[in-house]
Every structure is written in C-alpha cells, then in structure tokens.
Amino acid sequence: MAGSSIMETLFQRTLDDIIKGLRLQLIGESAFISKAMEEIRREIKSTDPHTKSTALQKLTYFNSVHGLDMSWAAFHVVEVIGSSRFAHKKIGYLAASQSFHDGTDVMLLITNQLRKDLTSTNEFEVSLALECLSRIATLDLARDLTPEIFTLLSSSKNLVRKKAIGVILRVFGVYPDAVRVCFKRLVENLESPDPQMVSATVGVFCELASKDPGSYLPLAPEFYKILVDSKNNWILIKVMKIFAKLVQLEPRLAKRVVEPICEHMARTGAKSLMFECVRTIVTSLAEYESAVKHAVVKIRELLIDDDPNLKYLGLQALSIVASKHLWAVLENKEVVIKSLSDADPNIKLESLRLVMAMVSDSNVSEISRVLVNYALKSDPEFCNEILGSILSTCGRNFYEKIIDFDWYVSLLGEMSRIPHCQKGEEVENQFIDIGMRVKDVRPELVRVARDLLIDPALLGNPFLNRILSAAAWVSGEYVEFSKNPFELMEALLQPRTSLLPPSIRAVYIHSAFKVLIFCLHSYFFQRKTIASSSLSSNDLAQGVSDSVSVRESPKGSGSATCEAPANELDGGFNPRIPSQLSKDIPTGNGDEMIVTHGQTSSFASLEKNSFTEDSISNLLNLIEMALGPLSVSHEIELQERARNILGFIELIKQEIPGSLDQGEGNFEREQLKASEVINVMRDAFSKELGPVSISAQERVPVPDGLMLNENLCDLEKICGDVQLPSTSSFSLGTPHSKEKIGVSLLNLQSKEESEPSTESTSLLAEHRKRHGLYYLSSEKNEISSTDYPPANEMKLQDDLHDDAEDLVKLTEQSLVPKKKPNHAKPRPVVVRLDEGDEVSIVAKKPDSKDDLLSGAVRDVLFGNEAIPTSSQRNPSDKSSSKRKGKEKVNIDLPSELKENLGDEEKPDLGNPSSRRSKHRTHGKERRHRSPGKNDEEREENVQKEKQKSSHRHGRHKARQRADGPLNVVAQAAVIPDFLL
Amino acid sequence: MIRAVIVMNNQGKPRLSKFYDFQPVEKQQELIRCVYEVLRTRAENMSNFIQANSIFGPDAWLVYKNYATLYFIFVFDSSENELAMLDLMQVFVETLDKCLSNACELDIVFNFSKVGKGLKCNHAGPKINDLVAQLIAHDFLSELLSELNCLLVELLGFCIFLASNLI
C-alpha cells in the first residue's frame, strides 16, 4: 500500500503538467481532459494526502477554467481541508469556496474544521478559513462560528482582522442575529488608526447601507469624521456612497456634508474621487445650487476629456442632473450632440438620453426631425434606440409634448419606412392610441395609413407587420375620412397581403368589410337622395339630432340634391369630422356644429368618388375575387371573416340588381331592404371605440355561478387543435397602454342608441361574442369621403444627408428653449380620463432577510446593548457580560424584539436615570412588560425622549450610543445633534 | 461589491474566473460567453464600462480592459466606483506583472494558483475591496512568502517520510 502510494505520488501529474499537456494538444483538448479526469477520479480516492490534494487542485482548475462539474468531489474537499499541511488546506479551501453552496450536504462536516482553523495560531490558516467562509457561509455555519469571528474582529493581526471584517458582511447576510454580537466591534473598527481596517469596515457598511440605509443613520457622526479626516481615496469614495444614501433619508445631514464633499471635489487630483463627489452631489445634494454648479463645472471637464471613459461618466452624471437642473444639460448641449456621433455605443446612448431630456413641446418636432434623419444613417441598433426613445418621449404622459398631432402622425409614418425600424409594436400602439384619443387627427391618420397600406414593398418586411395591421385598422375604423375608399379597398386586398401572418391578414379583411359597408351605404344613400329626398330622410334619419335642420353642406359641394338629407343623416349617425373642416364652414353653422360635438360630415368629394353602380359592382367583384380562395383557408380567423363578407355580399347582391333595374315605385321597397341591412351593419360599426382603462375589467362584477377556479382541462381537449389568435395582434380589448375607459364618448353612443335596434343587433352581439378579440366595431359611416388638405406635407426624403456637423447646427437652434412659439392651431383634445390614470406605484418591500438584518441593526444601534445569541459557547459572553444565566431566555428574544421594535426602548427612556446603570437588566425588563403597556407609554415617552435627546447626544462614541437606547421614533431628530 | 472577476483571452477562452456569488458551472460558462459576445463587438478606444444588467441581473456593471491578448473583466454593482475599479484592475495587472516578471497570457495560464492567490487577497473578504492599492503587492508577497515557508516545511516532511519508508 505504502509502495503504491509512493508510486502514485512520484508519478502523479501535477497541475503544471496538466496545463502543459493541455497546451501541447497532442490528443485534442476534450480527449486530454477526459483522460485527465479519469486520473483525477482515481487519484482523489487515494489515502495519501498529497496525491489527493494534487488531484483536487487539478479538478479545481478544470472546474474554474473549463467548466467541469466538481460537486461530486465535495466529500474529498472536506477531507483535504482537514489535512494538517497548509499547502493541502489551501487547495481544499480554494476548492470549497469554488464549489460549495447552500445546497451542498457535506457543508455541516466542515464546521469543526473551520472552527479549528479560525482559532489557529497561524494567521495564514485563519485567513484561509475566513476567505472560504466569506464565500460559503450558510445560516448554520454563521450561527455556529459567530463567536470565533467575534473574537477575530479584535485580533491583533491586521491580516486576520481585516478579513474577519470582510466576513462579517456575509455572516450578517445569512444570520442577522449575529448583529447583536458583532456589531459593536465592527463599529469600533471604524475608529481604528489603521486605514486598512477603516477601509474594510467602511466597505462593509457601504454594502449594508446600500440595502437598508435607514438603519445606519445613527452612525452618521462616525462617517462624517472619516469624511473629513481621511486621506484615503478608497475610503472616501465608500463613505460618500454611504452618505449619498443617508442624505436622502435625513435632509439635515446634507447641510453638514455638502461642504466637505465640495472641498474634496475641488482638492483631489484623483478622477475617481472627483467623480464620486460629483455623483454624490448630483444625486443626493441637488438642492444646493452652488455645489451643483461646481459639480457641473467638473462634469464639463470630464466631457471634454479625450478619455472615452471620463466622457461617458460625464454624460452619465449629466443625465442624473438633467431631471432637476436642465440648464446644466443645455449649457453642455454642444458636447452632448456631438457625442451622438461618437464611435462608442455607450456614449451615443447616453447622449441620446440627454437629447431626449432636452425635448420640450416647443422643440419636439425639430429634435425629432433631426434624430430621425440621423437614425437613417446610423447602424440598425442605434437607429432603433433613437426611434424607441423618440416614441417613448413623445408618447409619454399621453403625448403631452405633442401639439401638432398631424405632424406627429406623419412622423410615425415616416419612421415606419426607415429600413431598420424594428419598433413595429410601439408604432402600432401609438397609431391606434392616437386614433382613439385624438379625434382631430383622424383624417391625417387615415392618410398616413393609406400611404403605408398602398405600398406593396412594405408588406414583405416582417418588422412592419404590426404597423400595417394598425394602419389597416385605422383606415377601416375611420374610413369616412378616406379620400378614396376604392383605392383603400384595393390596397387592403392586394395579392401581396398573402405575405402577412394570418392574424394581421384577418385585420385586413375586417377592415375591408368596414370599407365595403361604408361604400355601400354611401351608394344607397346617394341613390336615395336622387330618387326621393323625402323618403330617404324618413327612412334613414332616425336618430334625429337637433342640428339637423340647421346644417348645410359645409363644402357647398355642388350636388345640391344631396345636401339636405346628407345633413340629416349626419346628425343621426354622428360622423366625425376634423376640426380643420369646421373652419371652412360658414360661421353660423360652425358654432352649431361645435355644440354637436364639432362633428359633421363632409361630402366634398362625393361627386369625385361618386359611388356609381359600376364602381360598386366592381368593388363587389374585387372582394369576391380576393376573398374567394380564403373562404377555404385553414386559418380559422381568415376563413370566418372571408365567409362573413362573402355571405354579406351574397345578400346584398340579390337586392342591388333589383334596385338598379326597377322603376321608381319598386325602388322604394327594394331599396328599403338593402339599405336596412346596410344600416344595421353600419350601426354595428358606428360605435366609437375609446381607450379602455387598465382596471376596467376589475370593475365588472363576477356573475353568480361563474366558477373561475374550475378546471378547464375538458375544454382544452376540445379546443386543443384550434389555433388561438395571438392576443397581441390587436389590442383594443386589452389595455395595451395605460388607458382610461372611453366614457367621454358615451354621449356619442347614446345618440346612436336612439336608432332603431332591430333583431340584427342580437345577431351582431352574437357575432361580436364569437369574435371576441378581433371584433373591431367601428363607425361605418355614410358617404363622407373627405378631401381635406393634408395638414402638413410629409415628404421627408429630401434632407436625409446631413452629417454630425449639421446635426449640431440644427439642434443648436432647436434646443434653445424658446419662449413658446405661437402655434398655428390649438392643441387638439387628447382623450384622457382621470380615473385609473395613476400608475400604482407598488412600494417594493425589502425581502424578509433584509428586514431581519435591519431589524437587528436597529436593535443594536437604537437601543439594547448586544444581546448574546443562542449560541451557548459564545466566548464573548465570558468577556463582555455576565449574563450567562439569561442566555436561555434570550434565545427567543430576537423575534420578539423585532416585533416591538418601536416599543421596546421606551421603558428605558421612561426612567432614564437608570439607563446607564441598568443595562444588564434591560432584557429582563423588556420581557416583563406587556406590549400593551408599552403602547400606553409610548406617547409620553416620545415627548420625554425628545426633551432628553439633546443631553444625551453630546457623546460620540458608538459604544456608548449602542448602550444608551435611542428611540426609533426620535431618530430623525437625533442625527444632526451628533453632528453639531 | 465586486461580483465576479474574469480573465479571458481574445478568443473567449477563460483563463481565470471567480464568481463571488455562487453560480453553477454551466451558468458560469454561459455568463463568460455572454461577456465575450459583448466585448468582441467593441472596438479599441471605446469606454471600458458596460452596463451588464442583461447578463448579470439588475445593477450590474462591467469594466474591462484589454492587455495584449487578454481581457481583464471586473463585474461590480453600484456600490463601487467605476474609475476605482479601473484603477484596481490596473494594480492587479501590475502586480501580476511584477510577480510573474513581465506577465503574458501564458504566464497566467501556467500560474493559475498564484494568480488566484493574488485575487483572493485583492478582496480580503470576498466582496470587499478593502485594499488600498499600494498594499496589494505587499500582501501578495507576504502570501507568497508564507507559501514558500510551507513548501520548505513540506519538503522537510517529505524527506522524513521518504526516509522512514526507506528505512
């Protein structure tokens, strides 16, 4: 046995051999590794510690660099740690810290070994154990080893003490009760003369405070002292980070620290410290104007530096300032805009963010124009960043920055055509959202949508699908604003739509349906007016509006016969009209129309498009041709919709020839039937859709007998093969952005409700039910095909080639905060409802672990002196207290303490005279007091506490403070006193 | 705190990796790959900081530096100063350079344990960078010394062991 182990030892390959062999690559890497692993598996079982540890070292190497699993060797790791030789131990600890985790089951086996090493006289062994513990400590380990760590915290050897301080962070994290034992010593280390200790301790506090700053407010005086006295940049940076957190909780601290921080900022030559000062000032001390001014000067220095790192950090700091001090950004706008064309994507992004921060309602269009042009020349990734930030900035808070919606809508259209655009979803949402919220922009919206739909090239780009679906929906929903419905229909049914995914094609078909209804209605209406105006008006103008008689055709379109009835219809069916139109209307009527929702119908282009028999039958043929094949489609949505339309055409076709061929007498009757059907359909589409509140569904009570928790597995069997439509493809029913319910549109709807609701409404309801998601009811309104002049020209392809210099020049003008240029027209109404507007901010609760930890810290800092933990062998107990007898009772104290955190100190405060002399009995007292009693006393104690705080707080020593109970309630008042 | 230290070459092969939060090996390899994918796209003369939230979860920053064929990468969170991290990395590399006399990739490959050692004392306590820059080298040497001592003791022990076996 001995012989074989010698042989093994002598001929074992060391780590170096392995690495060299690996480099030689004689047999290929993976083969080599698997061979080496075989060796390792054999060697690691050896009884010889040297062989074993070398094998483990090799394994650790493979684990670290080649990612091989080593969890199977956990037990061997424990064995190697137990070796008496330092070199072996070292290998073992390295392996443990690399491979052990909370779920490792042999973890408990190393507790004793760790304890032995922690109490070893060899400082290197101790530090090995500490290093390992800091990586792998679990609740059990931490609980069992806290006493040893406590002892090491005041070790005379710097190396050990420093590492013990580091370990504390992990121990506190997994075992909050350790705070009661170790916290005092940790705080003592803050005042150590050795900068290494201070640095380690401040580091720990920085980590702790980043999770729960509030608990460490009482330590502010110590930190302040360090901030003023320390010369070590590393420590100063950490202290500043702590203060950045504390100041946000205690504004009075700010007054004290702002001065030293500014001093450091002015004095230091180290960029890292300077930047930390700047960051602290701009994040936490932004109210101090002069400090911010100094900081901005420093930021400028960073910005003009050649080092991209400094530039990047400068931009970052600037974007923090931007929210509160926009002037700082404007001062540096030149640099910011130049950085847009930097080679470094970080810098570009950061400057883009800053540019967007400068956007206001007066310059939004110029900036967006410049950025969109710039996006055209950027790489795809950055291009999309630009588009995304334009969309989110403009869309923020219900488009508050947008005044000219016509412009914005055409910008959306333009963005969609940018080759790299991948922001389809956002554009889609905004398209529909604007359509629903902003009535006045609908004509332009329809125009933009038409331009998108009509371009066959766009159909092939999958990123544009979503946009096209929105465009199709918009043009179907608001078809009455369309200049040429026939052209629209052709666009919707063009052959290349077969490139679209079915869900979007379904939207196309449905929109085509809407357009069809619109055309038919217009056609019949025209016929009727020609045939007999009185009849048609009786038939159609059911929901008579007050304004009917007053109105006249706004355009004076020339087809005199159609004027009167047109207007009657108008009132009845609430067609929509853009505001520009109302300007054209003779003044007398204009007023009237604003009263009736500023809506009227335009027949301006009626004669142009005139819905003749030919055109209608062409239209019908076109639809039949295009949709015929789809009626046997495998896509259920397509098939269903196509069949709906075809069926409808079937129905209408029977009527139309009759109506065309018959003489006057018959016309009435036949016409009646056809137009009734169409009216019904038109009614179905005429309900205006409004934005839906995100909480709307919650307000619907759950009907009786509806079992929401019932198992639906049966249903699954039935529906398993049905492909569900992707819910995202159309988002009207779903609250896609935080929207409100469109209640404001109710008045519109109520009018429509006065129209005769025939049996077909129930049919419709059924249809609606069946189609759930896709049912896009829309106003299929009558004749109005409008020819509004487009609000502004949107051909943008002209200036696509300006480079960074132009960029600077252009934006320079636009970024100057103008004093509100007078807008050509007032901002249109954007529908928004107050209710449900606020995005509920869910205050994120710290997780329970943090709660425990901060609870413990508060306990220690604000009140009781360290209470020994449940650990029975706590050596600190011997030295620091004589409470051994009480330990047992104290075991369950922590939780109790946490519960009555606010209460427990009060009793002490009630009799402050005994406070210092009776520490030892506090625990007992507290236990005997019932919480109820504490509650009663609370009020007056708070008063007393406040009076007393000034006496007590002259003292600085943390130890004393930890002894003398501080009141949590009075905590806020306490801190500044320390600092004074 | 520092969450990870990675040294890899410019082909994405890890030369050294330390994750201060436990990560399963597969995850480690994946993270290293992700980091490499990000780094390879970055040209020279760009800033050395990258927001790494997409790779390492919330509040993660990454500072890297390219020395010859090696990338040195530190992953850290908002309680560290970016520039200080850069300095620390510089010190780390300088220390390596000193200890391995003119460090190159091969040295790091061949001196895995030593480099790991240097890193360990960089963070006395795993996550805390408590060392003042100048002190790192000193610490490193002291550890090396201790190693040497142990080696001597071991040699002695081995001789005795051999002797006892031969006798």
pLDDT 10s digits, A744-781: 333 444 444 434 444 455 555 555 555 544 444 443 33
pLDDT at position B100 over 70? no
**Max avg pLDDT among A646-660, A764-778, A803-817:** A646-660
Interatomic CA distance for residues A78 and A627, integer angstroms:
74
- A-chain CB neighbours of B58 within 8 Å are none
CA distance to partner chain B, nearest, from residue A101 (Å)? 6
Place of tokens 């039937």: A673
Residue A783 buriedness (CB in 10 A; 0-12 / 13-18 / 19+): buried
CB A443 within 8 A of CB A475: no
Greater confidence (A953 vs A531) lies with A531
Taking residues A293-322, report their average pLDDT. 90
The least confident of A29-43, A275-289, A462-476, A660-674 is A660-674
pLDDT band at A655 (very low <50, low <70, confident <90, very high): low
**B126 chain-A contacts, CB cut-off 8 A:** 97, 131, 134-135, 166, 170
Domain with B88, as residue range(s), is 2-166
At residue B113, the pLDDT reads: 54
- pLDDT confidence bin for A297, thresholds 50/70/90: very high
Residue A273 pLDDT level (bands cut at 50, 70, 90): very high
- C-alpha span between B3 and B85 (Å, rounded): 12
Most confident of A3-7, A829-833, B105-109, B127-131: A829-833
Q: What's residue A381's pLDDT?
A: 84
| Helix, strand counts (H, E) of chain B | 6, 5
Q: Calculate what percentage of chain A has a pLDDT beyond 70.
A: 62
Q: What does A424-436 look like in DSSP terms, one character per residue?
A: HHHHHHHHHHHHH
Does position A389 have pLDDT exceeding 70, yes or no? yes
Q: How confident is the model at residue A299, as a pLDDT?
A: 92
Model confidence at B112, pLDDT cuts 50, 70, 90, reads low
Decide if A169 and B48 are in contact by the 8 Å CB cutoff: no
pLDDT at residue A393 is higher than 70: yes
Of A304-313, A466-475, A708-717, A819-828, the least confident: A819-828
CB contact under 8 A, B81 and A237: yes
Task: Assess: ipTM above 0.85.
Answer: no
pLDDT at A567: 39
In this prediction, residues A199-214 reach a mean pLDDT of: 88
Q: Give me the residue from A20, A102, A169 closest to B125, CB to CB.
A: A169
Residue A107 burial (CB count, 10 A): 19
**Which one has a higher pLDDT value, A586 or A848?**
A848
Sign of the C-alpha dihedral computed for residues A541, A544, A550 and A553 taken in this order:
negative
For the ranges A56-65, A264-273, A744-753, which has the lowest average pLDDT? A744-753
Contact B150 A241 (CB under 8 A): no
pLDDT at res. A722: 54
Q: How many CB atoms are located within 10 Å of the residue A218 CB?
A: 22
User: Which of A125-129, A261-265, A497-501, A950-954 shows the lowest per-residue confidence on average (mean pLDDT)?
Assistant: A950-954
- A712 falls in which pLDDT band (50, 70, 90)? low
- Of residues A914 and A525, the one with the higher pLDDT is A525
Cross-chain Cβ contact B125/A165 below 8 Å: yes
pLDDT in tens, A82-113: 988 888 888 898 889 888 888 888 888 889 99
Q: Which of B123, B130, B131, B151 to mutate to test the interface with A (most CBs of A within 10 A)?
A: B130
- Structurally, chain B folds into a number of domains equal to 1
**H-helix or E-strand containing B16?**
strand B14-19
pLDDT value at residue A605: 41
Query: Is residue A129 within 8 Å of residue A96, measured between CB atoms?
Result: no
A343:B130 CB<8 A: no
- Rounded to 5 degrees, what angle do the CA atoms A387, A391, A393 make? 115
* Residue A691 neighbours by CB under 8 Å, 6+ apart: A433, A436, A437, A739, A740, A741, A742, A831, A832, A833
Mean pLDDT of chain A: 70
CATH number at residue B134: 3.30.450.60
Determine the distance from the C-alpha atom of residue A925 to the mean position of all C-alpha atoms in its chain, rounded to a whole number: 49
pTM (2 decimals)?
0.65
What is the reported pLDDT for B101? 63
CB-CB under 8 Å, A16 with B110: yes
A-contacting residues in B 109-138 (Cβ below 8 Å): 109-110, 112-113, 116, 120, 123-133, 135
Given this model, what pLDDT does residue A275 score?
93
B80 — pLDDT class (breaks 50, 70, 90): confident
Quick one: tokens of B54? 């997409």
pLDDT value at A169 more than 60: yes
Of the pLDDT bands very low, low, confident and very high (cuts 50, 70, 90), residue A670 is: low
Instruction: Find the mean pLDDT for residues A779-793.
Output: 37
Look at residue A900 and give its three-state secondary structure: coil
Q: Which of B57, B56, B39 is nearest to B48 (CA)?
A: B39
| Sequence-ordered list of residues with C-beta below 8 angstroms from that of A709, at least 6 positions apart, any chain | none
Q: CA-to-CA distance for A605 and A558, rounded, in angstroms?
A: 10
Written as six digits, the tokens of A141 are: 């380990």
Which tokens hold the place of A776? 């896009």
More confident residue, A817 or A15: A15
Mean pLDDT of A18-28: 77
User: What's the N-to-C CA distance of chain A in angstroms?
Assistant: 75
Is a pLDDT exceeding 90 seen at residue A278? yes
Residue entry with tokens 């008063």: A943
pLDDT for residue A553: 37
- Kindly indicate the confidence band of residue A373, based on its pLDDT and cuts at 50, 70 and 90: confident
Which chain B positions have a beta carbon within 8 Å of A203's beta carbon?
A: 128-130
Nearest residue in B to A127, CA atom: B124
By C-alpha distance, which of A439, A444, A472 is closest to A574?
Answer: A439
Query: How many Cβ contacts (< 8 angstroms) between chains A and B?
Result: 170
